[in-house]
Amino acid sequence: MANGWAPDGAVQDQIEDSLKDAVIAARARMPKGEGLNECEECGDLIPEGRRRALPGARTCVACQSLRDRQVAHSAINRRGSKDSQLR
């Protein structure tokens, strides 16, 4: 790398932060492993069409879109503003 003037630690911290966020977001969005017949959030039956399209699906459409919204929310409000968001 050609950034001899930048403190290595700071750059590395930034990379790890965005990597962690990306991993968390990807995990929440793309279910891994076996899917469920019933939503793990509300217990509703997951439609067969959804299970076929998304073999690892563990939630119904409503709960998944709720999760997606939460992921987008937490990605926008980064660490600095988290406390004020919760209060």
**Residues contributing to the site for Zn ion (CB under 5 A):** 39, 41-42, 44, 60, 63
User: Between residues 10 and 44, which has the closer beta carbon with respect to Zn ion?
Assistant: 44
User: Between residues 6 and 45, which has the closer beta carbon with respect to Zn ion?
Assistant: 45
User: Between residues 13 and 44, which has the closer beta carbon with respect to Zn ion?
Assistant: 44
DSSP codes of every residue in the chain: ---TTS-HHHHHHHHHHHHHHHHHHHHHHS--S---SB-TTT-PBPPHHHHHHSTT--S-HHHHHHHHHHHHHHHHS-HHHHHHHH-
Cβ 60 to Zn ion, closest distance in Å?
A: 4
Cβ 35 to Zn ion, closest distance in Å?
A: 13
